[in-house]
Amino acid sequence: MGDLILNVDLAAPERRPKKERGNRKHQSFVRRRRELERRGVLRQKQLPPNRGGPRRTPAKPPPSCPKENGSAGTGVPSNTKGKGRGAAGGTPESTGAPSALQNGRAKTKGRGRGAVAGAPPAPTKLLAMDCEMVGTGPGGRTSALARCSIVSYDGDVVYDRYVRPEAPIVDYRTRWSGIRRQHMDKAVPFHQAQRQVLRILAGKVVVGHAIHNDFKALRYSHPKALTRDTARIPLLNRRGGFPENVAVSLKRLTKALLNQDIQVGTSGHSSVEDARATMELYKVVEEEWEQHLRQNPEQE
């Protein structure tokens, strides 16, 4: 039998390129989509499920640079310049309409006070108030507001008005209040004065002596954290040589610490003079007292 010769080609057969499915429009769409996937433009929910491999994670866009009110990366408005101390001053017979400084929107350079959390209040945020009362009701025993005076940090008059009580005045208490019958001729009604005063005090740190009596006459309750009562600051008593737990009169504190005489004579008190004296007393212990309040906020 003759030899059988087999001619076997062991080389792998050449594979034909796999034709892409679909028409040209679909092929163009697929290529475009793959390019967008490669660049990370498509969001995750837009990506089709990737069979046989992990899903492509789109690249995160670079963080934007915050630019708010001209401050890069801080978010703090750049308009922080003010007019320094005493800029909240006004004139007597002020209508009480809040200005840019009175409503607390204006900022102040000063010494940088109030620029950071926990710092002492800025001068434009500080006001001192004093009220004078007359007697109404049976025997004139009910105290009613008859004058309200507000001064700025530098002692400029922001508001000073005589106020007509709702009830008839029985006792003018002139010896102490300084109020007389003729003062009621141009006095403003109580509710009008109340609205004007509350607009001025809104958002301000209010300094006063036994100021709870003044707020009571205004039928108003100011936030405790924004109230500074010089009758309840032990540092003042200590500086004046008085026991810390004793309520000392404004007249005695002013004489001991400022060497000034107020509430003299028989013509009665001046609420403007008393408000200015109260602010000056607060300044004596301002830094130390504000630091104490920051460390003991429950005592505000």
Q: 3-state class of 146 per DSSP? A: strand
Averaged pLDDT, 34-48 = 66
Q: In the predicted model, is pLDDT for residue 43 greater than 70?
A: no
Q: Buried b / exposed e across 29-46, counting CB within 10 Å, b at 16+?
A: eeeeeeeebeeeeeeeee
Relative orientation angle of helices 190-201 and 211-218, to the nearest 10 degrees:
130
Averaged pLDDT, 278-286 = 96
CA distance 135 to 143: 5
Single-letter residue type at 191: H
CA distance 211 to 231: 8
pLDDT in tens, 107-128: 333 343 443 445 679 999 999 9
pLDDT for the residue 154:
96
pLDDT in tens, 139-190: 999 999 999 999 999 999 999 999 999 999 999 999 999 999 999 999 999 9
> Which residue's entry shows tokens 């504190």?
253
Would strands 67-68 and 188-189 be described as parallel, antiparallel, or unpaired? unpaired
pLDDT in tens, 94-109: 444 433 333 333 333 3
Please state the length of the chain: 300
Q: Classify 281 in phi/psi space as left (phi over 0), alpha (psi -120 to 50) or beta.
A: alpha
Kindly state the helix (H) or strand (E) to which residue 144 belongs, with its residue range.
strand 142-151
51/129: higher pLDDT: 129
For the chain, counts of helices (H) and of strands (E): 8, 9
Kindly state the helix (H) or strand (E) to which residue 136 belongs, with its residue range.
strand 126-136
Cα-Cα-Cα-Cα dihedral of 258, 261, 262, 267, to 10°? -170
Averaged pLDDT, 201-227 = 96
Neighbours of 256 (CB within 10 A): 17
Q: What is the pTM of this model?
A: 0.62
Architecture of domain 81-299 in this structure: 2-Layer Sandwich (3.30)
Averaged pLDDT, 250-255 = 95
pLDDT for the residue 44:
52
pLDDT for the residue 15:
59
Give residue 297's pLDDT band: very low, low, confident or very high (50, 70, 90): confident
pLDDT for the residue 190:
98
Residue 26: is it exposed, middle or buried by C-beta count within 10 angstroms (0-12/13-18/19+)? exposed
Q: Classify 86 in phi/psi space as left (phi over 0), alpha (psi -120 to 50) or beta.
A: left
> Which residue's entry shows tokens 């001209």?
70
> Which residue's entry shows tokens 């507001």?
145
pLDDT for the residue 267:
76
Averaged pLDDT, 38-60 = 55
CA distance 88 to 84: 9
> Which residue's entry shows tokens 């810390």?
244
Contact status, residue 262 vs residue 275, Cβ threshold 8 Å: no
